Amino acid sequence: QQQVKQSPQSLIVQKGGIPIINCAYENTAFDYFPWYQQFPGKGPALLIAIRPDVSEKKEGRFTISFNKSAKQFSLHIMDSQPGDSATYFCAALGGSYIPTFGRGTSLIVHP
């Protein structure tokens, strides 16, 4: 499988902080980059996604920044809340390639 490197592995912020999770990919054939949010005992839920023709996408408090030349993308969570505490996975999809996932980031938002 093509690799997607995700960092950090874990992240702790205070309520209202802006956690940032980063991912880097290798295969330039990937053309769709989603982020998933997973709560314990549940399946991952699609949070937000971006294509390489844009550099930023916002949905509510969640923003993806995309740097095509660097083959990197990141998730920013504005005004983070304790309810945002979850594991976040980035992924890369494209063509006939099997979807590739990062290793996940465990986010804790303290009240």
Summarize as ranges the residues that interact with another protein (CB under 8 A).
Answer: 1, 31-32, 34, 36, 41-46, 49, 89, 91, 93, 98-99, 101-104, 106
Using the minimum distance from each CB to another protein, give the nearer residue, 41 or 79.
Answer: 41
Task: State in angstroms the smallest separation of the CB of 15 from another protein.
Answer: 23
- What three-state secondary structure class fits 16? coil
The full DSSP string for 26-92 is --TT--BEEEEEE-TTS--EEEEEE-TT-SEEEETTEEEEEETTTTEEEEEETT--GGG-EEEEEEE
**Residue 80: phi, psi to the nearest 5?**
-60, 145
Task: State in angstroms the smallest separation of the CB of 72 from another protein.
Answer: 19
Task: State in angstroms the smallest separation of the CB of 13 from another protein.
Answer: 19
Using the minimum distance from each CB to another protein, give the nearer residue, 36 or 109.
Answer: 36
Using the minimum distance from each CB to another protein, give the nearer residue, 20 or 49.
Answer: 49
